[in-house]
Amino acid sequence: MNGAGVLRHLGILAGCLISSSSINLFLIPNHLLSGGLTGIGIIVYYLAGLPVGAQTLVYNLPLLFAAYKTLGRAYIGDVVFGTVLFSICIDATRWLNVFEAVPDPMLAAIYGGVFNGIGYGIIFRMNGSSGGLDIVAAIVKKYYSFNMGGVIFALNCVIMSAAAAMFGLMPAMYTLISMFVSAALTDKVVAGFTYRKVVILISEVTDVIAEGIIHEVGRGVTFLEGEGAFTHQEKKVLFVVVNLTQISRIKRLATALDPQAFMIVMDANEVMGRGFTLPGVKIEAMLRDREAARKGETGEQI
């Protein structure tokens, strides 16, 4: 296993620890639930005291077997690793149950959802999986082409309905809040927190505005070829990705140069590349190192 593989598996471990700690620190002490097979395990834990992690692993075994038969060995490898690791982490952090860190059920639902979402987000960002309903959704999608998110939501609704019938409506409602927060944070972590804005601008003086953005705002600009559908007049469409703090400067610049300029500002959840994730000097150094390595392998004169 190379260094990248080790880091990926360590990331999955970190995500499992964060998520399982959240369940044991916030949800269980306040008699709340979680989604998926873990939620079923928590229900049985409340009724019979059986360890949640061991239950989750047992419940996953037939799903893992079904996934192996229907989805193949390539899918099952990382799922087994994440499922076993997550189950172990849940029981390993069980000692956190004794700490009633947040006695208020609403705060426990929110913070439990936050840290649970962060943990799951890290797992998914590392291309891992904790098993459970993800496997069911993947199998259903293969045969029936249903949306995976919709399948998981429907199955969680069944679990929450059963929980509401057994423990009352309030715990189920708090759990739904926690699940909503968890899903939102999972999406944020998977998408990345490097939020930027995309500006698309059409103007009669696009060239002048682009020069202003380059020299006054300090951002690179790309021209896209456009054509008016009514006039069939060719236009240059300005495309630029900026930081949040640079939006107002571009608005003032564009308005000053062309009050009639048409501008759209959109969210860009994750931006990678020169000027954002890596400085240009570092990129150039990487390219030089890569070229030197290539020449060394081929025996060319360096």
Strand order in the sheet with 234-242: 222-227, 234-242, 196-202, 262-268
**Are 26 and 59 within one domain?**
yes
Tell me which H or E stretch contains 238. Answer: strand 234-242
Last-in-domain residue among 156, 173, 191: 191
Q: Do 116 and 235 belong together in one domain? A: no
CATH code (residue 204): 3.30.70.120
Q: At what angle do helices 133-144 and 73-92 cross, to 10 degrees?
A: 160
- Examine the domain organization and report whether 94 and 59 are in the same domain: yes
Predicted TM-score (pTM) above 0.75: no
Last residue of a domain, one of 170, 191, 212: 191
How far apart are the C-alpha atoms of 196 and 247, rounded to whole Å? 10
Count of structural domains, the chain = 2
What is the distance between the alpha carbons of residues 294 and 154, in angstroms, rounded to a whole number? 52
Please check whether residue 109 lies inside any domain of the structure.
yes
Do 11 and 156 belong together in one domain? yes
**Are 185 and 210 part of one and the same domain?**
no
- Residue 144 counted as domain residue: yes
Cα 98 from Cα 158, distance rounded (Å): 29
131-159 exposure pattern, b = at least 16 Cβ within 10 A, e = fewer? bbbbbbbbbbeeeeeeeeeebbeebbeeb
Residues 239-256 as b/e (b if ≥16 CB within 10 A, e otherwise) read ebbbeeebeebbeebbee
Rounded to 10 deg, the angle between the 52-71 and 73-92 helix axes is 180
Decide if 69 is inside a domain. Answer: yes
Per-residue confidence in pLDDT tens, the chain, 302 aa? 667 778 888 988 999 999 999 999 999 999 888 888 898 999 999 999 999 999 999 999 988 888 888 877 766 777 888 899 999 999 999 998 887 778 899 999 999 999 998 998 888 888 777 888 777 777 776 777 665 556 677 778 888 888 888 888 888 889 889 888 888 888 778 766 666 889 999 998 999 999 989 888 888 899 998 888 888 888 889 999 888 778 888 898 999 999 988 999 888 766 666 665 544 444 445 555 556 665 565 555 44
Task: Measure Cα distances from 74 to 67, 79, 122, 147 in Å.
Answer: 10, 10, 21, 21
Contacts of 232 (CB under 8 A, 6+ apart): none
In a domain, 300, yes or no: no
Residues 124 and 56 placed together within one structural domain of the fold: yes
Residues 228 and 264 in one domain: yes
Query: Does 202 lie in the same domain as 119?
Result: no
Of 128, 156, 191, the domain-final residue: 191
Q: How far apart are CA 226 and CA 163, in angstroms?
A: 56
For residues 185 and 202, state if they share a domain: no
Residue 22 sits in the same domain as residue 78: yes
Q: Which domain holds residue 201?
A: 196-268
78 and 223 share a domain? no
